[in-house]
Amino acid sequence: MALPQRFPLVGLPERVTIYEVGPRDGLQNEPTTVSTAVKAEFITRLADAGLSVVETTSFVRPDRVPQLADAVELVALLERRPAVRYPVLVPNERGLDRAIHAGVEEIAVFASATEAFSKRNLGRGVEEAMAMFAPVVKRARAADVGVRGYLSMCFGDPWEGAVAVEQVVDVGRRLLAMGCGQLSLGDTIGVATPGHVTAVLAAFAEAGIGPDRLAVHFHDTYGQALASTLTALRAGVTTVDASAGGLGGCPFAESATGNLATEDLVWFLNGLGIEHGVDLGRLVETSVWMAGHLGRPSPSRVVAALA
């Protein structure tokens, strides 16, 4: 397999954690129904490829996201690896109850920086959403369940347009103060550019929130995901969300196309000499395998080049 030559850049982290979201964020909007057994094998293959975090599913109402209606069955079917984390998304206390009963050890809540998307995605505005998440986070932490906070529409909203940086920081601070251990900043519609990423991260730093508490979640709608990732790495962020094969998009935001492909991110990190622990060959094989089940080729450029 061809590999990029390594030319490290000064000022970048030595190691990055890839937060794999393919089984959840990647599959949630796929029109082709994927069986529970195939999902379980997908997760196992990703773990065996070296990914240390694999977000598995979401405990949402089945009618809202039919593709993930088998969350309980999937979690029970998983072949867990000792060094791998298997977080799930929960929307509310009912979802938390189901997740804890299923034996989940780590959850995430999904908030929005904008009113419009919060109402479309959660059926309630930002204030109501914060009130809904507070007991979820409190109860999870009391049960020794780790909590991550997702914040969507950090760089633009298809209904509201530009999103003020101060607005993003305000909602993000509240999620962290609530008890979320990490905040993932989402470019849900893929409009972020390096300067914008710099401004958002600088505003969080000014608010006393350093890169050690932040992750980034870029979509590649306009081909800017890796440029934005490099900017985040320069600012000290060491957790990057990605989806195997470039799968994904939000079912409640029509312009949210695929996530940053994990293979593209791994190739990029390899060239920079940044450690991540992932076997690119096995990862490509996994994405080709999943593409076969979905009946279409992977949108990842690296998968296309190496497969």
- Considering only the C-alpha atoms of the chain, give the largest distance between any 2 of them, rounded to a whole number of Å: 51
Q: Are 265 and 240 in contact (CB under 8 A)?
A: yes
- Beta bridge pairs of residue 173: none
Q: Residue 54 is which amino acid?
A: V
Q: What share of the chain is helix, strand, coil (3-state, %, to 5)?
A: 45, 15, 40
Q: Are 216 and 192 in contact (CB under 8 A)?
A: no
Q: Which two tokens mark 222?
A: 């306009």
250 belongs to the catalytic site: yes
Q: Residue 108 is which amino acid?
A: A
Give kind and range of the element (H or E) at residue 241.
strand 239-242
Query: What backbone phi and psi angles, to 5 degrees, belong to 43?
Result: -65, -45
Among the listed residues 84, 250, 253, 266, the single catalytic one is 250
Give kind and range of the element (H or E) at residue 54.
strand 53-54
Q: Measured between alpha carbons, how far is 118 from 1 in angstroms, rounded to an integer?
A: 44
Give kind and range of the element (H or E) at residue 214.
strand 214-218
Kindly list the catalytic residues: 250
